């Protein structure tokens, strides 16, 4: 994200760009706004703008882009600006720079509001938004004698659990900060994305030795295509470590060969398109989770082939037999 005044300067040939943050109001509504300024190479009094703004009450970043001519700025709610978009844009800023302020109006559909913004050295995200993110307790789910306590982040509304009663103080002290950090980063990502951002979870194992869960995401924040995928988390409650590679737990198992032997013939039609078991290239960065009966495994594919990321399963008996 872009930050404080002149936080960075990019020099590309003779073109210089810089960022400026503002706070102020749209009508009676407090907002923060930040733009990056790209002057034209041959005329530095005009150029292009891009950035974001958010209402202080909601903290959801709305992308903006536009242009400037001397002290006149036009911004619309879009990642990419063309002058002809102004007529059809849902939101339009028409602003004049006066000293360290931007003044003018903001049109949203059929309503117009006065705008007064003042330059600030604060980073809108790091200094204002992020410290306000808050986790709110929702519910408790019991897994025999262990509890997962579910929270949501107040502004993004994204949920995630923490370890509760039934776990040792050491286990909570190690893994709850990890879950805090995951929850916080996901919440910031959602607030940065003003389009489509969905996350769901499968809790596949909670016992005395492990917690294993999968996070599924479906995201579109501008650009050509949405992004879909999954992330696995496997917490070893005995060693107090997050296990990254399933081979750490089963060092003698060739997972690709086990899966190929079990599924290759049954997957003949699908394999022609996805080439799931032609070689191990789709399994080198596999996702995996422990379950009560075995290991769930998901191959990894390039973006265009993510529908090929089907779930596969090997039981503990299959993993231990010769």
Instruction: Kindly tell me if the per-residue pLDDT of 269 is higher than 70.
Output: no
- Look up the CATH number of the domain holding residue 21: 2.40.128.620
- Asked which of 88, 111, 128 is the last residue of a domain, the reply is 128
pLDDT at 6 over 50: no
Compute the mean pLDDT over every residue in the chain, rounded to the nearest whole number: 91
Query: What number is the average pLDDT over the span 207-216?
Result: 97
Are 83 and 196 found together in one domain?
no
Among 223, 231, 235, 122, CA closest to 186: 231
Q: Domain limits at 243?
A: 185-320
99 plus 224 within the same structural domain: no
Q: Which of 2-6, 44-48, 129-133, 213-217 has the least mean pLDDT?
A: 2-6
For residues 21 and 111, state if they share a domain. yes
The pLDDT value recorded for residue 77 is 95
Please report whether residue 140 resides in a domain.
no
pTM listed for this prediction: 0.88
Q: Which residue has the higher pLDDT, 222 or 180?
A: 180
Provide the domain count of the chain: 2
* Range list of β-strands (E), the chain: 10-12, 15-26, 29-39, 46-55, 62-69, 72-76, 91-98, 101-108, 111-120, 135-143, 146-153, 159-163, 196-206, 210-220, 227-236, 241-242, 287-290, 294-298, 312-315
Q: Is the pLDDT reported for residue 16 higher than 80?
A: no
Higher pLDDT among residues 17 and 139, named by residue: 139
CA–CA gap between residue 138 and residue 42 (Å, rounded) = 57
């Amino acid at each position: 994200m872009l930050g404080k005044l002149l936080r960075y300067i990019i020099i590309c040939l003779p073109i210089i760009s810089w960022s400026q943050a503002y706070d102020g109001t749209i009508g009676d509504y407090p907002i923060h706004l930040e733009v990056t300024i790209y002057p034209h190479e041959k005329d530095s009094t005009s150029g292009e703008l891009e950035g974001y703004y958010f209402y202080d009450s909601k903290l959801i970043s709305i992308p903006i882009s536009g242009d400037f001519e001397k002290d006149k700025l036009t911004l619309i709610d879009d990642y990419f600006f063309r002058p002809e978009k102004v007529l059809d844009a849902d939101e339009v800023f028409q602003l004049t720079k006066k000293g360290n302020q931007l003044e003018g109006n903001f049109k949203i559909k059929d309503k117009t509001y006065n705008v007064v913004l003042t330059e600030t050295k604060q980073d809108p995200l790091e200094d204002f938004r992020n410290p306000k993110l808050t986790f709110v307790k929702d519910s408790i789910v019991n897994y025999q004698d262990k509890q997962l306590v579910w929270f949501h982040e107040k502004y993004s509304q994204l949920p995630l659990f923490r370890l509760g009663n039934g776990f040792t103080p050491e286990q909570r002290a190690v893994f709850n900060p990890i879950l805090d950090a995951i929850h916080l980063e996901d919440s910031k990502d959602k607030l940065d994305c003003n389009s489509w951002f969905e996350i769901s979870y499968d809790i596949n194992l909670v016992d005395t030795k492990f917690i294993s869960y999968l996070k599924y995401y479906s995201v579109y924040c501008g650009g050509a295509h949405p992004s879909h995928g999954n992330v696995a988390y496997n917490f070893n409650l005995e060693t107090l470590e997050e296990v990254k590679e399933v081979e750490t737990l089963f060092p003698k198992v060739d997972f690709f060969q086990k899966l190929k032997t079990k599924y290759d013939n049954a997957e003949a039609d699908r394999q022609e398109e996805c080439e799931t078991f032609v070689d191990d290239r789709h399994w080198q960065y596999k996702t995996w989770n422990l379950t009560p009966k075995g290991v769930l495994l998901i191959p990894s594919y390039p973006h265009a082939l993510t529908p090929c990321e089907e779930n596969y399963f090997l039981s503990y008996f299959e993993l231990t037999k010769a």
